[in-house]
């Protein structure tokens, strides 16, 4: 039975600009949580969960999602007869 990956699978976003905006919010919040720690104290660590939610768990998850978002619509996996291939 042939199957293909759905466009909504994985960590991909709806568009590249939206994904980059999520990355800016996520990495910005993580950087601010650490950089502002000496100035404002431990309260700035509340920005860390905001950053992790924006990155969908971890920076590597965001990077994988970026690759999926960029390649969406260009590559498709098709499986038939127990063998899977990437097709354009």
pLDDT at site 19: 92
Q: Where are the domains of the chain?
A: 12-74
Q: Which residues contact 73 (CB under 8 A, 6 or more apart)?
A: 7
Cα(42)–Cα(36) distance, integer angstroms: 9
Cα(26)–Cα(24) distance, integer angstroms: 6
pLDDT at site 12: 81
Cα(65)–Cα(56) distance, integer angstroms: 9
Residue listed under structure tokens 């700035």: 44
- Per-residue pLDDT 10s for the chain (88 aa) are 444 444 455 778 888 899 999 999 999 999 999 999 999 999 999 999 999 999 988 899 899 989 888 887 676 777 888 888 877 7
pLDDT at site 8: 52
pTM: 0.70
Helices (H), 1-88: 16-35, 37-40, 47-54, 59-71
pLDDT at site 60: 92
């Amino acid at each position: 039975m042939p199957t293909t990956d759905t466009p909504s699978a994985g960590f991909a976003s709806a568009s590249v600009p939206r994904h980059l905006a999520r990355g800016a919010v996520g990495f910005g919040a993580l950087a601010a949580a650490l950089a502002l720690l000496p100035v404002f104290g431990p309260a700035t660590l509340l920005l860390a969960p905001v950053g992790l939610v924006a990155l969908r768990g971890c920076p590597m998850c965001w990077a994988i999602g970026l690759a999926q978002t960029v390649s969406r619509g260009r590559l498709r996996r098709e499986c038939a007869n127990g063998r899977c291939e990437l097709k354009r």
